[in-house]
Structure 1
Amino acid sequence: MNLDEQILSDLVVALKDLYPNIEVESTKNKLSTVLSEYYFQRVKLGEVHPDLEDKIQLFISAKKLEGLSSITLDNYLMELSMFADIVKKKAEDIATADVRMYLSQDGTLKMSTIRKKLSVLKSFFSWLASEEYIERDPTTKLKAPKDEYRLPKSLSIEQLEMLRESCDTVRQRAFLEILYATGCRLSEVHGLDKADINLQDMSTLVIGKGDKQREVYFSIRAMYHLGKYLKGRNDNCEALMVTERKPFRRLSKRGIQREIDIIAQKAGLQDKVSPHVLRHTFATLTLNNGAELVAIQELLGHSSPDTTLRYAKITHERKREQHQKYLIQ
């Protein structure tokens, strides 16, 4: 029995259960005429529905044309693929309850993770609705969970010096100083080439979130150790950070993280240090030293000052100093 005949038989059986007195043959003939104008594909139990899969690809293609970064597109595709693997339905049949079930299935997820997942799904279904692929957006009634307000981790000046003293190689010291002095994200440093460094201005341009370009700066100390690292290299790779062994190539983000882990472990700070912690340290220590909040916002590449405000926690001594300095008696 082919697929069309199977669908026809299944429909007639279902209708017979609902209406026992129907005339089977005439009903079958009428249904056959209607169904002849459609193409059907059977979805096997446990498979991702091809309709949802197609809609995801259309969405990714549309967002690519809008100029979203490859990292954002990869994150969208990964999240939507996981969603499709759990909710095996046509896009138009997906209800709010399906989305809610997907988001709540893993009770160990942090609120920030659930918020990111919901953000991707809202973007996807909103686009489907605007393009009239679906009649209604099932995520409209879903509100993002409240943000968990946690102060970013940062190192003290003493801990930063401990890291510096724990570097065994020129390479490690250069990596540490670059991450701290620029306040860059790991992905931003990973993409830098040697030719990107403006030696005269001690600066470079990086590509941040949303493909936004900004200028960041090196300290004298960072430039010194970076210079030693580059002079000691004997490869032709254009990347700023490269592998230690041949064939020399751009060091992966995980490789940069591993170097920082090695330094932190020797310093006894292995549970407290990562490239992102160095970014937080740059922001916190610079603010505590009197930098303007708007300047730090620009240096970090934050689109909103609210994000930067998370770093504006100062020490007890700093608060007392500011009170004595600025209070009008």
Structure 2
Amino acid sequence: MRMNRIERFIAELELEGKSKHTIKTYKSILNTFLNVVGRDPADCSIEKIKDYLLERRRSGYNISTLYIHAVVLRRYLSWVGRTDYESIRPPRIGRKLPEVLTPEEIRSMVEAAGRIRDKAIILLLYTSGLRVSELCNLNVEDLDLERGIVRVRGGKGRKDRISFFTREAVDLIRQYIGQRRSGPLFINKEGRRMRPLNVQRMIKKAGKKAGIPDWQKRCTPHKLRHSFSTHLLDRNVDIRYIQELLGHSSLATTQIYTHVSVSTLKKHYELANLELGIET
């Protein structure tokens, strides 16, 4: 069966080893353009593509979503051989500092979670810094419970790495898996591998039961990852080691946490001792 240009482009992404999530995103964005405009982006002028992006923005797309659309369209135009793709400039995204949960809040979430499985998930996410997709892809045999080591296979960018988890997490996982020695680590009531959406819902529910206001701190798996990174930094762990544990390819990605660690910042500020000895 003959493929059109977009289908050939998607096939190229698969050959490059892009993740299913990335491929799904590219396919969705290009097909949305095709359905709305009625033409392949490669056959449209830069002005037409910019008009499309402007319409998306006015229809309610936020800056982050618009940025992804612009990047995908640029990549596609470059692939088909267009030299004017650089005229499409993705919007600048303001850098938001990640929110983090306190150790006390995370403990409350673990205690509020109903099942041993859910307690183990929250604690493993927090103490290892895994992404939710990485957690859901774990098999029992990926864990070394004696040494508290987890091997992440095919993480973001198809990279393998190891991380660690605490004795408390080990104890909960042992209780949860029982005699199982292989297969998916976390399973649903049908015995199938848990999906990220299931984990996200469970963590949101645990946060609510723990009394953490959703409007104040939205409890998500990624927030546990942010908390892991920030708390390590608070305890003076070298940022290069945190980079390895998180699986970041660039140190610049990890460095956002240096702007979040308020307690560390305040400690260094107080060491400067700017007091003038003024009596008030």
TM-score range, shorter chain: 0.7 to 0.9
Give the Cα separation in 2 of the matches to 1:102 and 1:314: 36
Residue type of the alignment partner of 2:252 = D
Q: How does 1:152-231 map to 2 (within 5 A)?
A: 152-206=98-152, 207-231=154-178
1:23-70 Cα deviation digits (max 9, x unpaired):
xxxxxxxxxxxxxxxxxxxxxxxxxxxx9x811001111222222222
Q: Could you say which residue in structure 2 is the equivalent of 1:241?
A: 186
Q: Could you say which residue in structure 1 is the equivalent of 2:11?
A: 61
Q: Out of 209, 217, 221, which is 1:275 matched to? A: 221
Q: Could you say which residue in structure 2 is the equivalent of 1:284?
A: 230
Q: TM-score, normalization: structure 2? A: 0.87
Contact 2:149–2:164, Cα closer than 8 Å, also in 1: yes
Q: CA deviation at 1:325?
A: 6.0
Give the Cα separation in 2 of the matches to 1:310 and 1:228: 36
Q: Could you say which residue in structure 2 is the equivalent of 1:258?
A: 201
Residue type of the alignment partner of 2:168 = R
Q: Report the 3-state secondary structure (helix = DSSP H, G, I; strand = E; otherwise coil) of the residue aligned with 2:85.
A: coil
Q: Report the 3-state secondary structure (helix = DSSP H, G, I; strand = E; otherwise coil) of the residue aligned with 1:311.
A: helix
Higher relative contact order (CA 8 A, sep 6+): 2
Q: CA deviation at 1:169?
A: 2.1
Give the Cα separation in 2 of the matches to 1:172 and 1:185: 16
Q: How does 1:35-114 map to 2 (within 5 A)?
A: 54-106=4-56, 107=58, 108-114=60-66
Give the Cα separation in 1 of the matches to 2:170 and 2:123: 8
Q: CA deviation at 1:93?
A: 2.7
Q: Could you say which residue in structure 2 is the equivalent of 1:297?
A: 243
Q: In structure 2, do the counterparts of structure 1 residues 194 and 92 end up closer, same or farther at CA, with 3 Å as the change threshold?
A: closer
Give the Cα separation in 1 of the matches to 2:227 and 2:205: 18
Q: Could you say which residue in structure 2 is the equivalent of 1:4?
A: none
Q: TM-score, normalization: structure 1? A: 0.74
Q: In structure 2, do the counterparts of structure 1 residues 258 and 236 end up closer, same or farther at CA, with 3 Å as the change threshold?
A: farther
Q: Report the 3-state secondary structure (helix = DSSP H, G, I; strand = E; otherwise coil) of the residue aligned with 2:257.
A: coil
The number of residues matched between the two structures is 266
Give the Cα separation in 1 of the matches to 2:28 and 2:143: 34
Residue type of the alignment partner of 1:264 = G
Q: Which runs of 5+ in 2 are unaligned?
A: 274-280
Q: Could you say which residue in structure 1 is the equivalent of 2:268?
A: 322
Give the Cα separation in 2 of the matches to 1:215 and 1:192: 12
Q: Out of 150, 158, 183, which is 2:96 matched to? A: 150
Identity of aligned residues (%): 29
Q: Could you say which residue in structure 2 is the equivalent of 1:122?
A: 74
Q: CA deviation at 1:260?
A: 1.1
Q: Report the 3-state secondary structure (helix = DSSP H, G, I; strand = E; otherwise coil) of the residue aligned with 2:69.
A: helix
Of residues 120-129 and 260-269 in structure 1, the stretch that sits farther from structure 2 once superposed is 260-269
Q: CA deviation at 1:158?
A: 2.4
Q: CA deviation at 1:112?
A: 1.7
Q: Could you say which residue in structure 1 is the equivalent of 2:277?
A: none
Q: Which runs of 5+ in 1 are unaligned?
A: 1-50, 130-135
How large is the Cα RMSD of the aligned pairs?
A: 2.3
Give the Cα separation in 2 of the matches to 1:253 and 1:260: 11
Q: CA deviation at 1:237?
A: 7.3
1:91-148 Cα deviation digits (max 9, x unpaired):
553111222122222332222211111111111110100xxxxxx3453212121121
Residue type of the alignment partner of 1:112 = S
Q: In structure 2, do the counterparts of structure 1 residues 210 and 317 end up closer, same or farther at CA, with 3 Å as the change threshold?
A: closer
Residue type of the alignment partner of 1:259 = M
Q: Report the 3-state secondary structure (helix = DSSP H, G, I; strand = E; otherwise coil) of the residue aligned with 2:162.
A: strand
1:178-210 Cα deviation digits (max 9, x unpaired):
111111111111110111112233112212222
Give the Cα separation in 1 of the matches to 2:40 and 2:220: 42
Q: Report the 3-state secondary structure (helix = DSSP H, G, I; strand = E; otherwise coil) of the residue aligned with 1:105.
A: helix
Q: Report the 3-state secondary structure (helix = DSSP H, G, I; strand = E; otherwise coil) of the residue aligned with 1:200.
A: coil
